[in-house]
Copies of this chain bind each other. A is one copy, B any other.
Amino acid sequence: MKKVLIANRGEIAVRIIRALRDMEMSAVAVFSEADRAARHVRLADEAYCIGPPPSSESYLNMDAILDVAKRSGAEAIHPGYGFLSENAEFAARCAEAGLVFIGPPPAAIRAMGEKTQARRIMAKAGVPVVPGTLEPLRDAEEAAAEAQKVGYPVMLKAAAGGGGKGMRLVHEAKELRAAFRDASSEAVQSFGDGSVYLEKAILKPRHIEMQILADAYGNVVYMGERECSIQRRHQKIVEEAPSPMVGPEMRAAMGEIAVKAARAVGYVNAGTIEFLVDERGRFYFMEMNTRLQVEHAVTEMVTGIDLARAQIRIAAGEKLRFRQEDLSIRGSAIECRIYAEDPENHFLPCPGKIEAVRLPEGPGVRVDSSVFTSGEVSLYYDPMVAKVVTWGRDRIIAARSMIRALQEFQIVGIRTNRNFLLQIVSHPEFLEGRLDTGFIPRILGEREFRSPGPHPVADIAAAIFAYESARRQKPCVGGATTGPSAWRRATGRG
């Protein structure tokens, strides 16, 4: 394999380009009209425009992407995450066009894509699933009956779902009908499929997932778990490996179950089995992500294995280069996702122009980003602009290095969630590893963010800034001078 097309954008496209460079393969980028100057376009060996800014007309445009693959002579397509990465039709169309899809076979994507089907396959394979229905519910009546059976509280979930859409927690019977209606209609909106199923709700659960790698020759290994319990509205924010809850025995048990799950669907390539874990450490299959995860880097940091390169090698028909017993975990790694959003304003997205950026660096710090000075965070795409990952000999050092790295991180021009992340990782409960999916509202309250109190240095800074701005403007009165523009520049949002 000599040339690979990356059907994605942003930090993940950049990350895959780096893997290809390290393997001396050529990287072909595709881009929408909004992304002409983007990092992935500039770092790739070749780059082609595939349409207007909306994803539906560009990054989701299979015809355009396959056409570029053909024109450029690419032999394989890496879908990254999101967009077409879990689209079985796209995987099938790649195969038809004689291209290697760097991901699992279409059948495995399909088997895991429909959640109730996945639950049935897993239950049959001996993988523990959360008690509940194995088929979509016919109607609210059936939902009520099943809820009675497993016992409240229960969770309603979209069968086609993911990302927290079409999900409702139901505490008691009288809430059930309304919740069923809401979940179903949200599922229609989000996935075009209103099917909903039901699980027993696990309270204060942890979200722990197991990374696996499977080659085309039946070799499957697990790469250790990631703790992803720190979520805001079902969106992962902070992830780490290993989980502070998981010891060697639980890791082996969970890993072997994950391998079993992957085998049950004939899985090939990198994949992640997500588990819900209750307070006593019992774990239940939740779903499988049939692609590289956003948070794959923490696993790379502690195992020393490059997962993107492993994916490409597997797709090229290579055997896994290591066996289960060759793998070991060194130290601890934490990832924070930097979003262009404003925690002080209901976490509203903050697209805009990046006036200046300083990324953290130094010992134990890895950054995967797509930001650059003069770059734009576009309205059209996911607002995640960077991942900061830190490694330490132990979890506390990794956490302290994360605090240090976030403090060094600076973007002028757009707001980010940096301070929100700092509030999380510097909290005593985080440092002690007491995590569950309710962490953020529990720690930060309903607004999920604490605005800090007044500080004399802020007052001093404001006074000096005002003083210097006034002094700068003085000689400029009444003319087209540099004064106002200096002012304007100086007031770029911090």
Contacts and interface: CB of A to CB of B under 8 A. Distances in A.
B372 A361 contact: no
A358 interface: yes
A24 interface: yes
Contacts of A43: 408
Query: Chain A interface mostly helix, strand, loop or mixed?
Result: mixed
Interface string A294-337: 00010010001110100000000000000000000011000000
Contact of A368 (B18, B330, B362, B393): B362
Contacts of A331: 304
A82 to B, nearest CB: 19
Interface stretch (A160-168, A339-347, A397-405): A397-405
A356 B297 CA distance: 28
A326 to B, nearest CB: 11
Contacts of A330: 304, 330
A218 to B, nearest CB: 24
Contacts of A408: 43
A14 interface: yes
- Interface residue tally of chain A, by bracket? 35 or more
A21 interface: yes
A342 to B, nearest CB: 24
Contacts of A24: 400
A373 interface: yes
Contact of A363 (B23, B300, B397): B300
Given A21-B400, A393-B304, A404-B21, A356 B373 contact: yes
A372 B358 CA distance: 8
Contacts of A21: 400, 403-404, 407
A475 to B, nearest CB: 16
Given A15-B362, A304-B393, A364-B366, 19 more contacts: A15-B363, A18-B404, A19-B363, A21-B400, A21-B403, A21-B404, A297-B363, A300-B363, A304-B330, A305-B393, A306-B397, A308-B363, A330-B330, A358-B373, A361-B366, A361-B367, A362-B367, A363-B366, A365-B366
Interface of A: 14-15, 18-19, 21-24, 43, 297, 300, 304-306, 308, 330-331, 356, 358-359, 361-369, 372-373, 392-393, 397, 400-401, 403-404, 407-408
